[in-house]
Amino acid sequence: MRPMQLVALTTAALLSVGHRADAEGDAIARGGYLARIMDCAGCHMPRGADGAPVMDAGLSGGNIGFEIPGLGIFWPPNLTPSTSGLGDWTDTQIADAIRTGQRPDGRLLAPAMPWPAYAELSDEDVAALVAYLRSLPPTEAQRLEPVAASAAASAPFYRVTMPAN
């Protein structure tokens, strides 16, 4: 191979890697923007004793739950790529949960998760959200499990009430 051909091939290879990294960075930035305007942190970020978000905890799971009448109390899960979060989920499973509200084990997400509003997101936007969630620092956090409607809560929660007809 001639030296000029080698230089051209090496340059092309390096430029394609740089372009791929730029595209990935763009997807992560787009996903971060979407996560902010969709207010993922409103539920999935822990709160301090004063009710303010604990910013350095990221999307490691909400510590204030939602009581759904007749169903129980649910706490928003950890969305970081840790073992206590989305670390074992595939990108497709995360995308399906965003769009359909279904977990990998077949269970539906709690009704407080507004997945019907996210069902119409473009493929590019869902991929960007997944890329953003994958880019977060893995944060191990204790998972607050749902409790039945008649059970005692293990942490604070909001009560969701439906208006009378």
Question: For 54, what's the count of Cα atoms within 13 Å in the CB-facing half-sphere?
Answer: 14
Q: Which run of H or E residues covers position 134? A: helix 123-135
* Res 14: pLDDT: 47
Read off the pLDDT of residues 105-125 as tens digits, 9 standing for 90 and up.
999 888 878 888 899 999 999
- Specify whether the CB–CB gap between 64 and 162 falls below 8 A: no
pLDDT at 19: 46
- pLDDT of 9 > 70? The answer is no
Q: Each residue of 62-83: pLDDT tens digit?
A: 999 999 888 899 999 999 999 9
Segment 84-102 shows an average pLDDT of: 96
Task: Count CA atoms closer than 13 A to 17's CA, side-chain side.
Answer: 6
| Length of the chain in terms of residues written | 165
- How confident is the model over 18-44, as a mean pLDDT? 86
SS3 content of the chain, % helix, strand, coil (to 5): 40, 10, 50
Residue type for position 115: W
Q: Residue ranges of the domains in the chain?
A: 3-159
What is the structure's pLDDT at 36? Answer: 97
- DSSP states of 66-96 as a string? EEETTTEEE-PPP-SSSTTTTTTS-HHHHHH
pLDDT per residue as tens digits for the range 30-39: 999 999 999 9
Tens-place pLDDT, residues 126-137: 999 999 999 999
CB neighbour list of residue 155: distance below 8 Å, 6 or more residues apart: 63, 64, 65, 75, 144
12 band by pLDDT with thresholds 50, 70 and 90: low
Looking at the predicted structure, is the pLDDT value of residue 52 above 80? yes
Mean pLDDT on 150-165: 85
